[in-house]
Amino acid sequence: MKTFCANTILIWFENLLPSLLPFMIISNILILMHWEHYFVKLLLPVFRKLFLICDYGIYTIVSGFLFGFPMGAKVIGQLYGQKKITKTEAEYLLSFCNHVSPIYCITFIAPLLSLSTMGTIVFLITFYGVPFIYGFFLRHTIYKNKINHFKNKEINTVKSLDFPHCLDQSITDALISIAKLGGYMVFFSSIGYLIKIIIHSLTGSNQIFTKIYPLLEISSGLSYITPGIMESFVYLTLGGLSCLFQTRSMLKETDLSLNHYCIHKSIHTLIIIMIYGLFLFTKNAIM
């Protein structure tokens, strides 16, 4: 167990801490100072037409894709708690805005899969393209008449703090969040170790365990095996139990449904599998 936990902490320290903590601090400052609009100003004209949602919703989309998991859920929880977005908007955004970050994919997943530069680009386009198009599809079908995009929500009556106070509060909140994330990772890695012992004692093999471990803790689980690209797509899309509990933690102060989030994550995964199956079918047909 010591080796499992040590490896998990090392991954957290070397990959997640530097790639997530700065964005957590920045995002907290933007939300506390009510500066979200300025962060996405250049993207507003295009994203307003695509997603027909208020500026706070656009900030959620950008931060959810750019900052990385679990920042999508955290931002949604913060903005919904401050009544900057409605419950319907929050549920809609939660259906496609909570993923691992591009930096995480580039610095951790790409080397793990030995992807070339072009391979990494294709991987990123596919991985983020599916939820992006899915969000666009939902907005123009299920949520077509459920969200009023013509009026931005008014900022809550609570006056924003001055910058030094916001900075201090943002750093404190970010440190708590990143430490909690590490705690979840260690816990589910420990559970993984116990499952490994049980499976090995029953079967004498670790083959089954290698398929289960990434479903518990995605980062240490993928580092434990040598995954294929398709496996990585599926595991990264699902996120694992650790990611699910982290998302729950970010939303615990709200009445947003975790079941809603899980359903859409499952749909993302099915779409990925279908795309891969279509690719194999086309490849075999050509050959």
Per-residue model confidence as pLDDT tens digits over 191-228: 988 998 888 888 878 788 888 888 999 888 888 877 78
| Rounded Cα–Cα distance for residues 103 and 68 (Å) | 8
C-alpha gyration radius of the chain: 20
Please write the tens of the pLDDT for every residue from 148-180. 765 555 444 445 568 888 899 999 999 998 999
The pLDDT score that the predictor gives to residue 287 is 53
Which residues fall within 8 angstroms of residue 122, CB to CB, at 6 or more apart? none
Number of folded domains that form the chain:
1
Q: Apex CA 263: angle with CA 257 and CA 264, to 5°?
A: 100
Distance CA 201, CA 209 (A): 12
pLDDT in tens, 102-156: 988 998 888 888 889 998 998 899 899 999 999 999 999 999 888 876 555 544 4
Q: Is residue 117 part of a domain?
A: no
Q: At what angle do helices 240-251 and 207-216 cross, to 10 degrees?
A: 10
pLDDT of residue 95: 94
Residue 16 lies in a domain: yes
What's at 149, amino acid-wise?
A: H
Average pLDDT over residues 9-33: 88
Q: Which helix (H) or strand (E) holds 99?
A: none
Average pLDDT over residues 4-21: 85
7 belongs to a structural domain: yes
How far apart are alpha carbons 55 and 79 in whole angstroms?
A: 11
The per-residue pLDDT for range 91-106, each reduced to its tens digit, is 999 999 998 889 889 9
Task: Output the average pLDDT for the chain.
Answer: 86
Residue 120 inside a domain? The answer is no
Query: Is residue 219 in a domain?
Result: yes
User: Is 158 inside a domain boundary?
Assistant: no
* Contact yes or no for 237/265 (Cβ under 8 A): yes
Measured distance CA(140)–CA(35) in Å, rounded: 28
Name, in order, each residue with C-beta under 8 angstroms of 82's C-beta and a sequence gap of 6 or more.
Answer: 31, 155, 156, 158
Three-state DSSP class for residue 237: helix
Domain that holds residue 267: 2-111+126-147+166-286
Full DSSP string of 246-285 = HHHHHHTTS---HHHHHHHHHHHHHHHHHHHHHHHHHHHH
- 55 lies in a domain? yes
CB of 78 closer than 8 Å to CB of 92: no
Output the pLDDT for position 276: 79
Instruction: Give residue for tokens 């650790």.
Output: 242
Domain assignment present for residue 255? The answer is yes
- Asked if 29 and 47 touch (Cβ cutoff 8 Å), the reply is no
